[in-house]
Each structure stands twice: as structure tokens, then as C-alpha cells.
Amino acid sequence: MDIQNEIEKIESSINIYRLNVAGKEAFEIVMRLAYFEYPQYKKLIVELNKLRKRCSTYDEKAAFVCMYQAIYHSAKKMYKKTLKSINLGKLEIKHHLRTLNDGSAQKAIEHFLNDAGDVDFDKSCLKIMTNGILKQLADIKDELYVLDNHPDDYINTFSTYIGPDSIMRYRNDRVYYKDVSIIPTDSHSYSVSYNEKTTTSTKNAILDIFAYLNGMPYLYFTDNPEFNRKICDLYEKFDLLDMVRLRKKNYFAALSDEPISLQLPILRSNNDRFLIEIPDSQHEKVFELYQASLKQFEPMPRCVFLYRVFEYGAKYHYQHIMHPANYDPKDAIEYYLSNIFTHKYAPLYYIVYGRVSIEGENSDTVKVLKKSTCVNYISRLKKEARSILLEWSKHNYLKNKRLGEIIYNTGRNASAHASGGHADARYDYGLNYQHINNVNIILELIARYIVEELNPDIVKLVESNHDKYIKQSFLGV
């Protein structure tokens, strides 16, 4: 395909001074102008897509990137020329509206212009068309940005589905990391799009990073649907909120759980147009270790992997900035303990659902007994961690131990390596089970602190405005 020749044909076919709009009803005419486009460009892109999909190698597909750029630059030029023609009063819209006096024209205008008022129909049509062109230019700007900064998006192909749940809060978000992207597929599912040059570590890293941001584990579905279902069920039944639940007194005697639900974070886009770019990480391994901790639904194995995050941080963070002559992990633990309460973490919110009663003779009245609230999970962990440290300071045995020693002995010795005695298999739900959970709460804060110190840009990616989470969680009750 001679793309330049095709573009020249399109440009010569466009009349920026006269536009014929089909339709005999006012609403139909206004609708066409509100969603105005030059369909020639879309048809050319569709034809180019067909040719690109016949290609099998990276280099063959890469050759199409400059063609797409040429099409979008041409479209941008012609839309801007049309806009200029409107602004100079040189564009004439031709239509075959039967009458302007039955009120339908005014209603059609008011549907697309909030401040329409009692104005001329043709002038209003030009305003509506202007808005349509501005929308086209914004979309073109996005595509050119992607072509310039993430050309692999036009080269990559669909992978397997991601499980177990929605990975992003908004389905129209477009996420990029190195040469891969996350795209919505059918239903509520998502897939990672990549090419033959994409490394396995990058494909895994994008899931590991989202596991950290969302506080829940993810996986690529296998070909075995029964296995996928089992894993997804497991991940959905156990979550980070279990650490908070286990802090409740008499938790194991409770007949039901508190109705709380972890929320997906609001991610900041680079231009308010749903394009989200995850900065390249030099420490993908720490995300991998953290996600491994999320996949452990009991405190003991979770403790093992949280401690591994600490060990990674001690090696690549603590020892690099402190340069200890004789490294002692207990010192490193206490160093992190001194920072976790003041560090400003990327937030992770959960909803505590309220209660209502249905009243009235016809059960048509809803009375709010308790309003739902939106709580920052990290703030809740800090609160619990302070309480835990206070409890340890009053404990008959633990009060005589260094904090670093308590966490080291639990995280490394008791959980990971045990001691070779009867305690190796001891897992009492009322005693050491909850003690390990207490250690996990502190290790969770340490782990997240390490992740964010090694990847400082990750914090900037998450919206921290509490009010936005309340507004977008529909907390009416």
C-alpha cells in the first residue's frame, strides 16, 4: 500500500468550506455533527490493520508504525483546517431539515449544548461540530503520543487472560510498562499485550506491580479452567484485610465477618486521558517477592515471604545507605521500624459497609442505620502496629526482647527455619497464629516501605485524595 498516495487522496477529497449533512430530522443532523469525523481516515486505518495482522514478526509489524503516524498527522492537519474554517466563519453546513419551528430543533441543540439558549440553529450546529472536532483532535493526540512513546502497542499481540478479578478501576484506562500493556478484553477480563521480544520477566513484572498497587495477587490463566477456578476462588476468599480481621478480640468466636471490601486504587494518568505509564523499575524482584506474600493465605507462609521482602531491602537498600561494618538483620529491622510510621505510603482503601433497614407497609422506605465509610488500609495498619508494639512492651516475655529480635525470631527463625522442636508444627489459632499475624502487620509496613523506597515513582502513580475515593465508591449508605 502506498500510504502517502492514499493520504493525498483523502486530503484532496475533503472540503473544509462546505459540509453536507444527511438527515431530515433535527436530532439526526445534530447527532452527526456531535460525532463528526472524516470517515476516510478510519477506513484507511481499518485497511492498514488488516495488512498488519497478516504479519508475523516484530520487524514486519514495526514497519507499520510510521504509516499510522502519517495517517494521524494528516487527520490532525485536516481537522485543524476545518476548525479554522469554522472560526473564520467560512464553513457552510448544508442540511435538509424540513422545519425549524416545531421545537424539535431546539430540543436537539439543548441535548448537546448545556448553555444553548434561544439561538440560531445553524450557529448552534457549528458549535456542536466544533466540540466534535476537538474530541477528534484529543483522540488523535492520544494515538500520536502512544505511537511516539509506546510504538509496541501497535506491534504487540493478545496474550492469555489475567485473573482472578478486574485489575483496574476504570475499564478505559490504558496501562503501559516497558514494551507491554494491559488491555481490556471481553466481559470484565483483561489481558497483557506483548511481542516476541518481550522478556518473561517484564510480562511477570507488570502483574507483580499491579499486585502491589491493588493489594491482591494476579496470575495468567492456564489452559486448565478447573485449576484457574480453584486458584481464583482461593485468592478471592483470602485477602490483605484478613490481617485486620485477625486483630479483633474473640475473632475466632465470631459468627460472621465485618462487611469490608478492598477497593482498587485510582491511578493517575499522565495527561488526564486514561494513559497510565508505570515507570521502569530496577527492582522488579521486590515486586515479585511481595506478590508471593499475597498468595499466602495463612499468616505463617505469608510471614516467610514478607520477611524475604525485608531481606531484599536489607541487601539493596539498608546496606547501601547505612554501610554497616557488621550487618545485623535485627538492626536493619529496627531501622525500618523507625521509618514506617512517618513514611507517606501510596494509599490503599477499603470500604466498611453500612447497614440499612427496609420499612413501610410496602417495604418502600430505606432507613440508614449506619453509613458506609472509606478507610485507608495503610493508616489502619499503622494504628494496629502501634497497638502491637504497646502490647509487646507489656508482655511478660516479649517486653525483655528487642523489637528487631522479636520480628527476626518470628520472621526468619520460627516461620522460615523453625527450631527443630515441637513448636515446628505448632499453629494454635488463638495464640501463636495471631502473634505471627501481629508480626506480619509490621512486616507488611516494612515491605511496602522498602518497595516504595526502591521505587519512589510508584507512590506518585496512585491518587491519594480521600474524597475522590468516597465520591467514586457511591457511599450512599
Q: What is the pLDDT of residues 61-82, one digit of tens each?
A: 999 999 999 999 999 999 999 9
Amino acid 468: pLDDT: 85
pLDDT-based confidence at 474, cuts 50/70/90? low
Type of residue found at 81: K
Rounded Cα distance between 300 and 165, Å, is 25
Phi, psi of 77 (to 5 degrees): -65, -45
Least confident stretch, 328-332, 397-401, 464-468? 464-468
User: In 3-state terms, what secondary structure has residue 462?
Assistant: strand
Say whether pLDDT at 477 is over 50: no
Q: How many beta carbons lie within 10 A of that of residue 457, not counting itself?
A: 12
- Residue 325: predicted pLDDT: 95
Query: Do the beta carbons of residue 218 and residue 205 sit within 8 Å?
Result: no
Q: What is the pLDDT of residue 365?
A: 73
Arithmetic mean of pLDDT over the chain: 88
pLDDT in tens, 78-108: 999 999 999 999 999 988 776 555 577 777 7
Query: Rounded to two decimals, what is the model's pTM?
Result: 0.86
pLDDT value of residue 359 = 73
